[in-house]
Amino acid sequence: MTPSRRVPSSPPSRSSFARAVLAVLWKDLAAEVRSRELLSAMLVFALLVILIFNFAIELAPDLRPTITPGVLWVTLAFAGTLGLNRSMAVEKDRGCLDGLLLAPVDRSAIFFGKMLANWVFMLLVAVIILPLYSVLYNLNLFHPGLLLVILLGSLGYVAVGTLLASMAVQARTRDILLPILLFPVIVPLLLAAVRASGGFLQAAPFEQIRPWLNLLIGYDAIFLAVAYMLFDAIVEE
């Protein structure tokens, strides 16, 4: 049963909200630095996927930009799901989740702190796998447009994923439940990310890429707003 909410005596100011978000973010980053459980699991999984694709698919040089976006986002999506599951499960298993919910701050600050931590972990995985992928496939992935797509796509992914992980953490089958809830919701995000990434890698005209970037930005904005409005109700259940 979720503990009763402690409501602040007055509406929180922007500075106190930002401090609460940063406190949750710092707590998660410091805990990961000490344990190295979450990021190491994500990295091992992502590296295995990259290596398996490398040895399983023999591609001609001209076909690599075509298949690379799909391989890249499959790797990031599955590694990110592993991280989302662990980030909330650790709080629940250690009994820290109730303490967070009892803190005299707006609960949406807890969501944004957890989401930013998950975003940092996902971006760290991307920073490590991009050079490895570039070496294995002899393909330069350090394109400014592709990096922008990774930033936008991973932001939307962790926004939805953190919200659904908060919902699934109370279930006994949370490891199975989260992917079932998450993947149908992020199909538009992954589609836009793959198409935009492919456009940049294949040097397509920007007019062809712009609709997919607009979809990514719109998806991020909508689900950040939805998460802000619904997180309190979700953790109350």
Q: What is the pLDDT along the chain (237 residues), one digit of tens a residue?
A: 445 444 444 455 677 888 888 988 998 888 888 877 778 888 888 888 888 877 777 666 667 778 888 889 999 998 888 888 777 777 776 666 666 777 677 788 888 988 999 999 999 999 989 998 888 878 888 889 999 999 999 999 999 999 998 888 777 777 788 888 899 999 999 999 999 999 998 888 999 999 999 999 999 999 999 998 888 888 775
Written as six digits, the tokens of 97 are 């989740």
C-alpha angle 237-164-228 in degrees, rounded to nearest 5: 75
Query: In angstroms, what CA-CA distances link 50 with 84, 134, 192, 202?
Result: 20, 11, 21, 20
3-state secondary structure of 5: coil
Amino acid at 39: L
pTM listed for this prediction: 0.86
Residue 98 pLDDT: 67
Cα distance between residue 202 and residue 150, in whole Å: 16
Give the CA-trace dihedral at 175, 219, 113, 89, to 10 degrees. Answer: 0
Residue 59 pLDDT: 60
Residue 7 pLDDT: 45
Residue 221 pLDDT: 96
Written as six digits, the tokens of 19 are 């401090």
